Amino acid sequence: MSNGIVIIGSGFAARQLVKNIRKQDATIPLTLIAADSMDEYNKPDLSHVISQGQRADDLTRQTAGEFAEQFNLHLFPQTWVTDIDAEARVVKSQNNQWQYDKLVLATGASAFVPPVPGRELMLTLNSQQEYRACETQLRDARRVLIVGGGLIGSELAMDFCRAGKAVTLIDNAASILASLMPPEVSSRLQHRLTEMGVHL
């Protein structure tokens, strides 16, 4: 009997992979392991949760249980993988292990926290689970410092500003979105952020 496919991760890439596998094979064993709840949500929505007064659970589009039933999966949420034995084809956690025929790592990205004093006090907002852990703190904050003037940082600055918070946005580039936009477009966006009350 096949040990099937083990997928580590539960984000967009993992879900798309599951859907495409099931289009081709309805019976191959599929196991998903992830450190979060495995509920489906639209990640870009994290950039608008504060001004819209949304809680973390409001973002859920499909629960992990519904996803498992729909696509005939074995799910292991809130599970940290501690070891992968490629030779034996085994994935291990603290309390479990899984044999596999094929293994897919779909763990996504993690936010960069700069190595500066006070870094342990910094919050990252890169997942529903991270938002769930800090939503009260973010909602109650009066002043917010955002590190990073990319797409997400700029969207968050607007969101916090719309929620009535004092916002400062810092970046090591000369202008926001410097690597993504021509200078004239970046300048217009900076002007708009300043008009909204964001301190750059």
**Burial class of residue 127 (count of CB atoms within 10 Å of its CB; 0-12, 13-18, 19+):** buried
Q: Convert the pLDDT of each residue in 40-91 to its tens digit.
A: 999 999 999 999 999 999 999 999 999 999 999 999 999 999 999 999 999 9
Reported as a pLDDT band with limits 50, 70 and 90, residue 5 is very high
Task: Give the integer Cα–Cα distance in Å for 189 and 162.
Answer: 16
Q: Which of 46, 55, 58 is nearest to 151 (CA)?
A: 46
Please write the tens of the pLDDT for every residue from 95-118: 999 999 999 999 988 888 888 898
State mean pLDDT over 115-137.
90
| Fold matches, 5-105 and 119-196 | yes
Instruction: Identify any residues that bridge with 144 across adjacent strands, giving them in sequence order.
Output: 167
Domain ranges of the chain: 5-105, 119-196
Homologous superfamily, domain 5-105: FAD/NAD(P)-binding domain (3.50.50.60)
User: Would the pLDDT of 1 be above 70?
Assistant: no
CA distances (Å), origin 110, targets 94, 124, 137: 22, 9, 20
Does the pLDDT at position 15 exceed 90? Answer: yes
Hey, what CATH topology would domain 119-196 get? FAD/NAD(P)-binding domain (3.50.50)
The string of pLDDT tens digits covering residues 147-172 is 999 999 999 999 999 999 999 999 98
Q: What is the mean pLDDT of the chain?
A: 93
The string of pLDDT tens digits covering residues 135-148 is: 999 999 999 999 99
Q: How much is the pLDDT for 2?
A: 66
